[in-house]
Amino acid sequence: MQTSLPEVKHNLLSPAFLPVLENKVLKTLISLAILHHHDYEPSEDMVKKVEEVLRSEFQISLSFTYKKILKQPEWRAVRNLEIKEGKNLRHFYTLLKGFLLRIDHASSSKHVATVESKRLTHNEERVKEYLAKKNSQLNDLQSFVLENRNNNLLVVASTGYGKTEAGFIFLKDKGFFTIPIRTSANAIFSRAREVFSEEEVGLLHSTAPLFLLENSEDIRNFDKDTIVNDIFLTKNFAKPLIVSTPDQLFPFVLRPKGFEKFLSLFSYSKLVIDEVQLFEPHTLGFLVKAIEKAHEIGAKVMVMTATLPSYVRRDLRDINFKEGRFITKTTRHHLKLIPAPITSEEGLKLINSLSERGKVLVITNTRTKALELRKALRTGEVLHSQFIQKDRKKKEEEIKDFFDSQEKGLWITTQIAEVSLDLDADFLVTELSTADSLLQRMGRVNRKGLKPVNEPNTFVFTEECSGIGGVYRKSIHEITKEKIKEGIIDEEWKLYLVEEVYSILEDRDKDFMKKYEEAKKYIDDLWELEERFFNKKEAQKMFRDVISEVVAPEIFKEKVEPLVSEYLQEKDHIGKLDLFSEILGYTFSLPFYEGVSLKPIKGLRGFYWVSGNYSEETGFEGKGNGDNFI
C-alpha cells in the first residue's frame, strides 16, 4: 500500500524548478522571493516534507543551497547574503519580491488579470480644460506645481486655493492622492473623474465599493456591471490615479505581510498627501517615516496642508522638498470671542438672533453638547457621527440643501462638518476647539470671501467647552485660548496662529512630543529588526490607533437579521454588494469605551449589536462617556 505524500504548498516547491543561473546571488534572491510570496515559517519538519515530495513525485534532489534557504528566516537570509557578498541587496530584493506579489495578485484575480491598465498623461492640459469650464485658469500654486513636479514638494496653502487641481497636475504617469476623511476622498474621486477619464481613476477606502454602488447612477458612464472590474483594478493598484485614505497605503511602514508590494509600487509613483494637520501625533510620526521610506525607494512626494507644525517640517528636511507658500489675500472672517459657555443664556440668545438674519452653522465639540444645545434652543436640525448611515446620508443631503438655499435658520453639528461637508454659512457659532480645528470650522463661513466682514461672522465661546481631554488635547486647547484674538483676521494670521500654538506645544507638552518621537523610533527599530509582526488589518488599526467597532442599534434587529440571512445565501457579487450596502445603512462606527455592551451580529464578522435609544432626529444615545464622542 502506497503511503500518501505530505501536503506542501507550491511556493515551497517552485524554487527547485528554477533554471540554472550563472549568477548564484540572483538565483538565491529569486528563490527567497518565490518561497516567501506566501506565508512560510522555517522548520526542520517542512524541509523534510519538501525533500520527500521532490524526491518521490518529481525525482529531484533538494539542493544544499535551497535547503539552507528553507531553514532561515527571510530577512536573515538576505542579510547573510549581503555579508557574504559585501553588497547592499535589500533594495533590490524588496523590489523583486514586491513586483512578484503584484503579478501574483493580479494573475490570481477572478475578474481582471491586469498589473497596470495605462498611464496618466497630459495632466496639465486636462486640468486647464476643467478650470476653463469654470471660467478659471491655472493660479500661482498650480503653476508652481507644474514647473516643479519632478521635485518633492511641500505646499502650504489657504483653504480653497485649488490644492486638489494642483495635486492632479503633480500626479503625472502614476499617482496616489491621499486624504484622511472618506467623504473628502469621495469628493476628490468624483472631481478626478471630471478631469480624467472614468477608467483612469479609482477609489480606495474601507467603504469605497458601497459609495460606487450607491452613486453608480450619478457617475457618468458607470453602472453596476462595471463596478466589480473597477474595484479589483483599484485594489490591485492597476489604475493610474487612485484616490485613497492614508490607512490603505501607509501602514506598509509597519512591515505587515506583503509590505514589499507597496514599496515596489511607490518606486515609480507619485504621492500627494493632503491635510496632514488632521493626524494624531503617533500617526503623524508613522506617516513621516512612511514618506521617508517611499522617498528612499524612488517615490516623488507632494505634501499639501493648510498648516504644518515646525517639528514635522524639520523631520522632512532630509527629503529635500521644494517649498511653496500660497496664502489668499481675501479676508473672510471677523472673529468675536465670548467668555461664556455656548449653552449659556447669552449663547442661546445670540444663536436665535443670528438665525433670523441668515444661515447659521453651530459647531460643538461633542455629540452630548450638540444634543444639549438642540434641546435648549428647541429649534434647528442636528448632525453628529452617531446616526446610522442611511439617516446620516439623508441629513448630509439636507444640510447641504439648506446652506445652498436662500433660507434662514440653523444647523447644529459636531466637528464632522469641519472637513467632510462643503458648506457656506453666513454665521459660525462654535465652542473653542484647537487652533487647527477652529480654522477648519471657520472655512465653513464666508467660504468664497464675497460677503462683508465689517461685523463679526464668527463667534467663539471659550468657557466650559466640551470634549477637552477627550476629543481635543487639553494643552493645545489652552494654548489656543491664550493666543487667539478678536477682530478681522486674514489668512496669514491664521497660519501664524497654528504655527505659534504648535511651537509652544513642543516646550509645554512633553507627552505630546514623546508620542510623536516614540512612533518614529518604533518604526526605526522595526526596520532594523527586518522582520514582520503584523497582518494588514492589524497594521491598519495600529496606524490609525482608533479603537472603534461597526454597530447597529438593537431596535433594528427585525429589519437587519433577514437581510443578513439573504446576504449569506446570495451568490452574485453585485447582489451581495447591494445587500451589504443595505445592511450598512443600519450601522455606524462606535468608538470603544468602558462599560459598553456589544453582542456579535451572527453571520457578520466584526459587526455588533449595541443597546441604547435611537431616533431619526437625534441619533444614537447609549450609556458611557458621551463627552468623547463627536
Per-residue model confidence (pLDDT) at position 426: 95
Task: Indicate if 471 and 566 belong to the same structural domain.
Answer: no
Across the beta sheet with 322-326, the strand order is 201-204, 241-244, 175-178, 270-274, 300-305, 153-157, 322-326
What confidence tens digit (pLDDT) does each residue in 512-544 have? 888 889 889 988 888 887 666 666 666 666 666
The better pLDDT of the pair 540, 338 is held by: 338
Q: Which of 88, 106, 134 is the last residue of a domain?
A: 88
Q: Closest Cα partner for 411 from 384, 448, 387?
A: 384
Per-residue model confidence (pLDDT) at position 72: 86
Q: Is the pLDDT of residue 581 over 90?
A: no
Per-residue model confidence (pLDDT) at position 263: 96
Task: Indicate if 477 and 554 belong to the same structural domain.
Answer: no
Give a yes or no: residue 386 inside a domain. yes
Give a yes or no: residue 273 inside a domain. no
What mean pLDDT, rounded, does the chain reach? 87
Per-residue model confidence (pLDDT) at position 1: 38
The better pLDDT of the pair 539, 467 is held by: 467
Give a yes or no: residue 378 inside a domain. yes
Q: Which of 489, 513, 538 is the last residue of a domain?
A: 489
What confidence tens digit (pLDDT) does each residue in 406-424 have? 999 999 999 888 766 778 9
Q: How many domains does the chain have?
A: 3
CATH code assigned at 461: 3.40.50.300
Q: Is the pLDDT of residue 227 over 90?
A: no
Give a yes or no: residue 28 inside a domain. yes
What confidence tens digit (pLDDT) does each residue in 482-498 have? 999 999 999 889 888 98
The better pLDDT of the pair 278, 145 is held by: 145
Give a yes or no: residue 403 inside a domain. yes
What confidence tens digit (pLDDT) does each residue in 54-100 have? 888 888 888 888 888 888 888 888 888 888 888 888 999 999 999 99
Task: Indicate if 462 and 551 belong to the same structural domain.
Answer: no
Task: Indicate if 348 and 482 belong to the same structural domain.
Answer: yes
Kindly state the average pLDDT of the residues 146-153: 94
Task: Indicate if 562 and 440 belong to the same structural domain.
Answer: no
Per-residue model confidence (pLDDT) at position 184: 85
Per-residue model confidence (pLDDT) at position 59: 86
Q: Which of 58, 88, 118 is the last residue of a domain?
A: 88
Per-residue model confidence (pLDDT) at position 152: 95
Confidence bin at 314 (pLDDT 50/70/90)? confident
Q: Is 430 exposed, middle or buried (0-12, 13-18, 19+ CB in 10 A)?
A: buried
Residues 223-232: contacts with CB under 8 Å, at least 24 apart = 224/574, 225/574, 227/574, 227/577, 228/111, 228/573, 228/574, 229/111, 229/112, 230/202, 232/109, 232/111, 232/112
Residue 101 Cα distances to 108, 242, 442, angstroms: 11, 19, 45
Q: Model pTM greater than 0.95?
A: no
Task: Indicate if 582 and 444 belong to the same structural domain.
Answer: no
In this structure, of 190-194, 211-215, 280-284, 529-533, the range with the lowest mean pLDDT score is 529-533
Confidence bin at 625 (pLDDT 50/70/90)? very low
| Structural domain for 476, as ranges | 333-489
Give a yes or no: residue 33 inside a domain. yes
Task: Indicate if 353 and 447 belong to the same structural domain.
Answer: yes
Quickly tell me which residue has 489668512 as its cell. Answer: 491
